[in-house]
Every structure is written in structure tokens, then in C-alpha cells.
Amino acid sequence: MNREDRGGRVRAEGGSSVVSLVVYLAALVFGMSSVLLLRRPRTAVRNPLTLSTCVAIALGALVFVCAAPATLSAVNELTGIPNFGAPLTYGMLSAYSCAVVVLLINWRGGPRERVRRMVLCSVAAYGALVVAVVVLFALADADTERLTDLDTYYATTPFMREMILLYLVGHSAAMLVMCAVCVKWAREVTGLLRIGLRLILWGALLDVLGFQLTKYTAVVARWRGHDLDFLSTTLAPPMASLAALLCSAGFVLPRLLPAVLAQWRGLGDYRRLDPLWSLVKSVSTAPKPPAAWWQLPQARLQWREVSIHDALLALAPYFDHRVRERVRDTALGAGRSPHEARLAAEAAMLADAARRAAAREEPPETAGTYRLHATEVSGTGGLVELAQALGRSPAGAASNAAPGGAVPPSMA
């Protein structure tokens, strides 16, 4: 091999490595999206929409893995058949296109029998397309291995030409249907679902214009004796990767963002409960869960909420209504609303009760049954309000600074 041939091979291998890296990154993004959606496998399997979404995303990731030049070279070498990776990739792409159509069918919904019939028809159509791809490859003469420019190199080769055109048409049909459905549904829905549909639409359009159209153009140019191979080898792969990123974001966003926001709100409530927890944690008898850094905020918040309620129940015999009434009257006289006055009064009474319990004093004579506002409302909102009122009161601030969360007697 002369120096020029060796240099050309080195450049080709370097370009293949770059393309492989881009494609593998796209596969990783697609695959992570599927893992996130399938975080509860038992629930996902029983939900056709979630299952079809995960299958479509997983197949999309496999398409990128199969299409990487490094994978193609390994498959060709393993099977001993030049370009065997081509029908494998094109068959996987056709399966992904079928999964996209099935996803759209399940997304739209309708009578179960109608959905089932449409799914079976789609699987049959794309199954026939996969068989045709394999048969055409078997009939073709494709002995020269091409890792990055197979579509254009064999664009005029009998049977290979038909195979290339067939897989492109099958994928285009699925993406165009997806575009049409996203445009229609985006007008009918709002919020995160609309944003997700628009992201999927942009990804599908980028796939059609940035990947498929460049492939069609490069192939047709070969038919006419021109060389526009760079469209297929250089432009199409990154466009397909970007399209996959947008589509995966569109699939995942409406499903995961509400859960992420709920966890974020849980973390905020968990932290806002600090003043209340610092005051009553020495009284709580609730069993502590095993400390784990991977516990989600909602789980931590739930345990703290249960522990606080347990502590409030233990402190109830120490509630001094004279303290509560005195602080309430003072707050009302200062122009605060009845609700704010009640919270301030309950915070003062609770701080006093925590002091009495820490000092092992006898319950006050005025003790009696009284329900705190935080125990009358569902959720953590009432506890958060009480914690914030406690943090604003002098007694609450002193309780947080005192050892063990107890209020010093001087603050009673």
C-alpha cells in the first residue's frame, strides 16, 4: 500500500471514529430516556402507552448502536459477510419506524379491538419490509465493505438500490405520520403535553429534512452521475442524532417533569419544616428509616411529616391555652389576620409545651384537647405554616439554638 492510500485509510478511520462517537452518544441519550420511563417495570408493562414508548425509544437507541461504523465493522467481521451490518441496521430502523407508528396508535387510543387491529396491521407491514430488506441484500452483489458511505456507494447497484430506497421510504412514512399527528394534537392539548408534542415534531421534522432528505438527495445525485456523498456521510448522522435528542426530550418531558417538580417541592417543604423539626425531634418516637443518600425528597418528607405528627401527639398534654390565648390576643391587637394570629399563638404554645416536656414538668392545669391547624388540613401545608410561624417567633428561634431543640425556661 502506497503512502497516499495509507493516508486516505487513516483519514477514513478517523472520520469513522468521530461518527461512531456521535452516534453512540445519541444512543446513550435515547437509552437513558427509556430507562427513566421504565423506572417502574411492573406498572409500565401493564400500560400499553408507556410500554410502546419505551420500546420505540429502546429500538431507536439500538438503531444508533447498529449504525455506528465501529459496530458495522465488528458485525461484518464477526459474520464474515461484507456489509452484513447494513440489513441489520436497516431492519432495526424499520422496526423502530413500526414502533413509532404503534406508539402513535396507542397514544391516540380508541376501542381496544380497533387499536389491536391497527397495531397488527402495522407490525405486518413493517415485518414484510424487514423481510424484503434481507432478501434484497441477499440477492445483491455487495462484496466491498463500506462503513460510512454504503447508501451512495451502492446507490446504482441492482437490489442494493431497491433495498436502500425501501428502508428510506418506510422510515419516511413513519416520521411524516408522526409530524401530522403531532401538529393535530398540539392544537388540542395544553401544558407539558403540548411542549412534548412540539419537541417530538421538531425532532421528526429534523429527521425528515436533516437525515432523510439529505440521504435521498445524495442517492438521487448518484443516480444522475453526481457526487453529493458528503450529505449522506457528513451531514446526515449528526442531524439524526440531534433529531433523536429532541424526540427523546419530547417523549420524556410530559412523563417525568411533573414527578421531578413534585420531588423539588418535596425538598423545599422538607427544608421549610426545619424549625418545627428542630423543636420536636427529641420528643418523636417514630422509628427512624435507614439513612440512605439515594432516598428521594418525597420519601424523606413523608418520614419527617409522620415523625412530627407523632411528636405533636406526645406534646398535646403540655399545651397551655393561656399562652395560646395571650399570644393570639396580642397578635390580633397588632393588626394581624385571625389565621396569622392563630398560627403565632399555636407556635408559642408548642414552644412552651416542648420546654415543659424537656424539663419533665407536670402538664399545666389548663391543658385540654386542642387541635392544631396543622393537624386539621391534609398534606404538609399546615405543618409548613406552623414551622414558618415558629421560625419567626422569638421562642422558636431560641428553641432552634438550644441543645436538643428544647426551649430554655427563660423563654417560656
DSSP letters, 107-156, are HH---HHHHHHHHHHHHHHHHHHHHHHHHHHHHS---S--SS-HHHHTTT
Tell me whether residue 412 is exposed, middle or buried, using C-beta atoms within 10 angstroms of its C-beta: 0 to 12, 13 to 18, 19 or more: middle
Residues of the chain with CATH 1.20.1070.10: 3-260
The three-point CA angle 27-28-32 to 5° equals 120
383 and 276 Cβ atoms separated by less than 8 Å:
yes
Percent of the chain residues past pLDDT 90, beyond the cut? 34
Q: What share of the chain is helix, strand, coil (3-state, %, to 5)?
A: 80, 0, 20
The pLDDT score that the predictor gives to residue 139 is: 94
What does the CA dihedral 48, 49, 53, 55 come to, rounded to 10 degrees?
10
- Given this model, what pLDDT does residue 291 score? 60
Q: What is the pLDDT of residue 367?
A: 60
The architecture in CATH of the region 3-260 reads: Up-down Bundle (1.20)
C-alpha cell at 82: 461484507
Q: Using one digit for the tens of pLDDT, what is the confidence trace for 69-111?
A: 888 889 999 999 999 999 999 999 999 899 988 988 887 778 8
How confident is the model at residue 8, as a pLDDT? Answer: 40
Residues of the chain with pLDDT under 70: 1-20, 22-23, 26, 29-31, 33-46, 286-287, 289-294, 366-368, 393-412
> Is-above-0.75 flag for pTM?
no
Given a contact cutoff of 8 angstroms between Cβ atoms, the answer to whether 142 and 108 are in contact is no
pLDDT at res. 398: 44
Q: Is the dihedral of CA 242, 244, 250, 256 positive or negative?
A: negative
